Structure 1
């Protein structure tokens, strides 16, 4: 970042971005990373980034496109001299990580298909239902809600989540055991930093969720220890070997639909893991990743239903059920932890939109959330079947394609002689963004990658298969 004594931080960010454009390191017309990513890159809060973007917008350097994001303009504002050079300079000239910014931009260019993780499709979000519920909230109790500063979450939503857990899982919990958070990642950051000292050891699934790993490392300063995962999820014997060797304080687990492999942890493994956690006094954070998207008649239960010793802290995501952009999650705590976590949550003064919380509570109580889930579950199952069929038909000689019982993505194993890492690079050049195997593995990466199906319709999935086929052909050795 440009250093100018006496110049406010937001203005220095504006100048840094403008200089990067003028020097050709940020191409005109490019999509800027999101405010959260920019805040991380500059080491500031999102409010500062928002003010800087507003200033750039006012000066004519950027433009916002509905449902697409924020872009640099195609031409420099009038009166600005200088044009970007044809090639970027060999070395960055500012103090932030320019290559990572450029990588983020290249990931979100127009026409690129983003199927690297498997996110719910925001186009299916119940926008009208949410809008009506939001309006009802404002009409009924708007003045109180707009003054609601309870960081634990709106009482009505906490009551609704408790009722949801009873209806879906047969769990009787009190609303006081529920904390509302800024998405599941916000929940993980809160728990990691509040309950564990810096340097504490965390057992994590390998392969696993790198985003969650980064939160535990960066937000909570915890150290991670990998535990292998096979076709049935985390291997209890490997966990036991780790617990016998080192003092582990926490296990992060995605038992219903493991990320990224989609494996469902069977009941006997759940019981074994719970027994180990109780014996070694290890807390378990159960991240119910895509838990509500299951496509078989027998739905796997959450780990919390089997917990008799108070080992499990459950994280759920309302955003993934409704719309990813809502950033609304919840934590279900063991009763003895409630007073402490309530104090921590209040001290941080973190709260999402209380009117939105009321509106989502309304959708839960009226059954709209359940109906929306049934609708999207059918759509995602159709998309899963379509992608599995197309991949087997077109690329079955090069990919091992298994249909997962749930979740929003496929875990694909690449057959020799194609190299998975090279395939992902070639796919990106063909306009299909996937994550390389190294993204998911803490140790040596296997020849696998994840391909989402939920966020794309059938036509988009067909195009994704075509682009992946182009990438495969580029990776095959010459005859």
Structure 2
């Protein structure tokens, strides 16, 4: 057995007195760490509580608590009249105590000791900046959200419902699904029941589940040109062949879809028909009917993403393709509560019951617990009419922001950009009239406190364009952002 005084405890036990973790637990965890790594061998006698308290400059009762915790976890044993000893399995090559000078037990390994597959397909495309002003992707303004009201409902639900939840429920809150199905029926013309709904965490999770079940490596998936980069990443991870279909002022070109269907087997068509991402155009009624007929004729799946469906200004939105689907060819996905605070949002999938059975199996693996309390809160927001009242109020604000943002762009950048007023959504599509290096423009703007993420920039030999979000900017922020933007556009073009 080693003498307790040989081990330099103070060199590897570091106490943070301002930490929220109790001091005795800090010491306990670091002792266990040293034991696990072989720096304190089995059968080592630990110092007496008084001696170790003096070494570490803590109260003796703290060390008593440390030894009690070590004993409770099975790391030590106390022998009467002999002391406290490390127990466990002897190592063939115990680590020398001299190695303490070169080893910091508090450092976690920087690399694995094994090989694994890596993927550049899933590299995070999103950027962040400390700039005061940001052109985002078209996100709602959280400052408009009625946080107090939502918080009160959540608090009330927590008090009334939390103690009644006795097991995980991957199927989600039936109360929420009942209200959501009714909401989707009234707002989108979807004659569905609870059995046609799957509640997910996000649109991306919904698409991932759909891809896992319905797509195989080598399948062909059609997407619009351009298309949502995050969704394309999921498709690429599934190993499918992505084919780009032209998009014009009426949305994705149905004639081109037919041409491809005649030459090869198509498994899926992904659409954002309400406001095509990123160009914001709405898929015309005629093309919706054509695509439904093509799906029935050639047997491909239509994955319909209701991106920005709730944000429409000039007229009532065209109903989804799913509302006219009678043959079960359309899977409808979306997010609910996008205009609410981030923690109050959720995703959903609408599909026939036989597919729902399989989808619930997958959801049970990746999100077995779910968030039934939050779902109940969302159900109450629907049932009490809060969602409709809030959307009606916020839509007026967003429409005013859209109009003012378009005005500022046209007043300041008419010679450089072509923009058309979108019928809805929280972003505009701006195509350049003059040659421009968009990455360089982004760098110029960042130097002047305006951040433009690279995910908003679209540039190839045939196109130079940008997607600019206005929803999160008030009038003053718009004015300052456009002023910085305009100044640097001129610097870029005329330099």
CA contact (8 A) 2:457 2:467 kept: no
The offset of 1:235, in angstroms, is 0.8
Partner of 2:467: 450
Change (3 A) 1:97 1:182: closer
Partner of 1:362: 380
- Do structure 1's residue 469 and structure 2's residue 486 form an aligned pair? yes
Partner of 2:204: 185
Change (3 A) 1:233 1:433: farther
The offset of 1:362, in angstroms, is 0.6
CA contact (8 A) 2:450 2:481 kept: yes
Change (3 A) 1:387 1:351: farther
Give 1:284-363 correspondences, 5 Å limit: 284-363=302-381
Structure 1 unaligned runs (5+)? 1-92
The offset of 1:232, in angstroms, is 1.6
The offset of 1:122, in angstroms, is 1.8
The offset of 1:314, in angstroms, is 0.7
Specify the SS of the correspondent of 2:338: helix
The offset of 1:293, in angstroms, is 0.2
CA RMSD of aligned residues (A): 2.6
The offset of 1:345, in angstroms, is 2.3
Give 1:60-139 correspondences, 5 Å limit: 107-139=127-159
Of 197, 200, 205, the match for 2:224: 205
Structure 2 unaligned runs (5+)? 1-109, 113-117
CA contact (8 A) 1:200 1:249 kept: yes
Structure 2 CA distance for aligned equivalents of residues 424 and 235 of structure 1? 32
Change (3 A) 1:437 1:328: closer
Aligned pairs, number = 380
Structure 1 CA distance for aligned equivalents of residues 286 and 123 of structure 2? 45
Structure 1 CA distance for aligned equivalents of residues 332 and 220 of structure 2? 19
| Larger gyration radius, structure 1 or structure 2 | 2
- Do structure 1's residue 160 and structure 2's residue 156 form an aligned pair? no
CA contact (8 A) 2:161 2:373 kept: no
Change (3 A) 1:182 1:438: closer
Residues 144-196 of structure 1 deviation map (CA, whole Å, 9 limit, x = unaligned): 23x34121221111111111012212322110110000111111111111222
Partner of 2:163: 143
Q: TM-score, normalised by structure 2?
A: 0.71
The offset of 1:444, in angstroms, is 5.2
The offset of 1:246, in angstroms, is 2.4
CA contact (8 A) 2:322 2:330 kept: yes
Change (3 A) 1:373 1:263: same
Structure 2 CA distance for aligned equivalents of residues 438 and 370 of structure 1? 30
The offset of 1:319, in angstroms, is 3.8
Structure 2 CA distance for aligned equivalents of residues 429 and 304 of structure 1? 46
Residues 359-399 of structure 1 deviation map (CA, whole Å, 9 limit, x = unaligned): 01110111101111111111111110111011111111111
CA contact (8 A) 1:209 1:440 kept: no
Partner of 1:196: 215
CA contact (8 A) 2:207 2:234 kept: yes
Structure 2 CA distance for aligned equivalents of residues 398 and 421 of structure 1? 16
The offset of 1:208, in angstroms, is 1.2
Structure 2 CA distance for aligned equivalents of residues 268 and 259 of structure 1? 19
Specify the SS of the correspondent of 1:251: strand
- Do structure 1's residue 222 and structure 2's residue 219 form an aligned pair? no
Change (3 A) 1:374 1:178: same
Partner of 2:419: 401
Of 345, 356, 377, the match for 2:395: 377
Specify the SS of the correspondent of 2:339: helix
Residues 185-221 of structure 1 deviation map (CA, whole Å, 9 limit, x = unaligned): 1111111112222332211111111011112222x33
Specify the SS of the correspondent of 2:280: coil
Partner of 1:388: 406
Change (3 A) 1:153 1:236: same
The offset of 1:445, in angstroms, is 5.6
Change (3 A) 1:314 1:193: same
Change (3 A) 1:97 1:183: closer
More moved, 118-127 vs 348-357 = 348-357
CA contact (8 A) 2:199 2:348 kept: yes
